[in-house]
């Protein structure tokens, strides 16, 4: 069965996000049944759904808040021949937490970082737990709070509205651990992400980073989470 490359599915900042996504999917694949039903929130182009369907044989049901995303995602699924394993739906943002399961897994990439309110973040985690089957798994690949340089870049240079939102950190790590029975977290990028456009420098900095100051919950660019109900 044909499917996109993981680079194509990840779409942006591939040197950092690709290892995080690959780590998440690989760990989850060892737990999930072969024909798992996976809910993806925020499918965008549908390329990640196509990858999961083609690579693992999972049946992916995606929801996105943009109506134009559904047509693009359907076109991609048809192009890769996985349209029988992918369903793309739309919903209003406020209706996301009304989606019901059960699903064998939920996949999210860069979704929770949009949340600014503590109580809403906890509602999302409770919903994720509730929408899973009894042995279900959450696969979350989320923007980390990062270090001082990340915060400065996001607030001053990018002027991102979400710079002060609930990006993944030690607090979010604790909330996942309180909500789910078992949580396996891996962290990627501390300063290396600033060198992704210079492959040689990125490779060197990443090796130094891993050896002397590895990313952690409070200092990571991406958090790769596999949480079991």
pLDDT tens track for 87-123: 999 999 999 999 999 999 999 999 999 999 999 999 9
| The pLDDT value given to residue 156 | 78
Q: How far apart are CA 222 and CA 202, in angstroms?
A: 16
Q: How far apart are CA 114 and CA 76, in angstroms?
A: 26
The pLDDT, as a whole number, for residue 148 is 81
CATH of 6-228, one of 3.50.30.40, 3.40.50.150, 1.10.10.10, 3.40.50.720: 3.40.50.150
Contact present, 83 and 74 (Cβ < 8 Å): yes
For residue 117, the model assigns a pLDDT of 95
Q: Distance (Å, rounded) from C-alpha 140 to C-alpha 121?
A: 13
Split at pLDDT 50, 70, 90, the class of 80 is: very high
Q: pLDDT at residue 188 above 90? A: yes
Per residue in 122-179, pLDDT (tens digit) is 999 999 999 999 999 999 999 999 888 888 788 877 888 888 899 999 999 999 999 9
d(CA 205, CA 191): 8
CB of 113 closer than 8 Å to CB of 167: yes
Q: Percentage of the chain with pLDDT > 90? A: 88
Identify the pLDDT of residue 50. Answer: 98
Q: How far is CA 69 from the centre of its chain?
A: 18
For the beta sheet containing 222-228, the strands, ordered from the edge strand earlier in sequence to the opposite edge, are 86-90, 59-64, 37-41, 103-109, 132-143, 222-228, 182-188
Q: What is the average per-residue pLDDT within 76-82?
A: 96
Mean residue pLDDT of the chain comes to 94
The upper half-sphere exposure of residue 200, i.e. CA atoms within 13 Å in the direction of its Cβ, equals: 0
pLDDT number for residue 6: 97
Q: Please give the pLDDT value at position 149.
A: 81
């Amino acid at each position: 069965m044909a499917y996109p490359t993981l680079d194509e599915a990840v779409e942006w900042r591939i040197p950092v996000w690709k290892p995080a996504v690959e780590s998440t999917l690989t760990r989850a694949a060892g737990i999930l049944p072969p024909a798992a039903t996976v809910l993806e929130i925020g499918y965008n182009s549908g390329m990640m759904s196509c990858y999961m369907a083609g690579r693992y044989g999972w049946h992916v049901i995606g929801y996105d808040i943009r109506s134009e995303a559904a047509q693009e995602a359907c076109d991609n699924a048809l192009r890769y021949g996985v349209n029988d394993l992918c369903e793309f739906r739309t919903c209003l943002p406020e209706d996301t937490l009304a989606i019901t399961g059960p699903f064998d897994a939920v996949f999210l990439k860069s979704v929770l970082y949009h949340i600014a309110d503590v109580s809403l973040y906890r509602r999302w985690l409770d919903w994720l737990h509730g929408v899973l089957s009894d042995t279900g798994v959450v696969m979350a690949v989320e923007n980390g709070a990062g270090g001082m340089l990340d915060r400065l870049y996001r607030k001053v240079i990018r002027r991102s509205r979400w710079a002060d939102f609930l990006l993944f950190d030690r607090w979010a790590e604790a909330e996942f651990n309180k909500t789910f029975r078992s949580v396996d977290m891996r962290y990627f990028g501390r300063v290396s992400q600033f060198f992704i456009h210079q492959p040689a420098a990125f490779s060197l900095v990443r090796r130094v980073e891993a050896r002397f100051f590895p990313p952690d919950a409070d200092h990571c660019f991406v958090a790769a989470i596999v949480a079991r109900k």
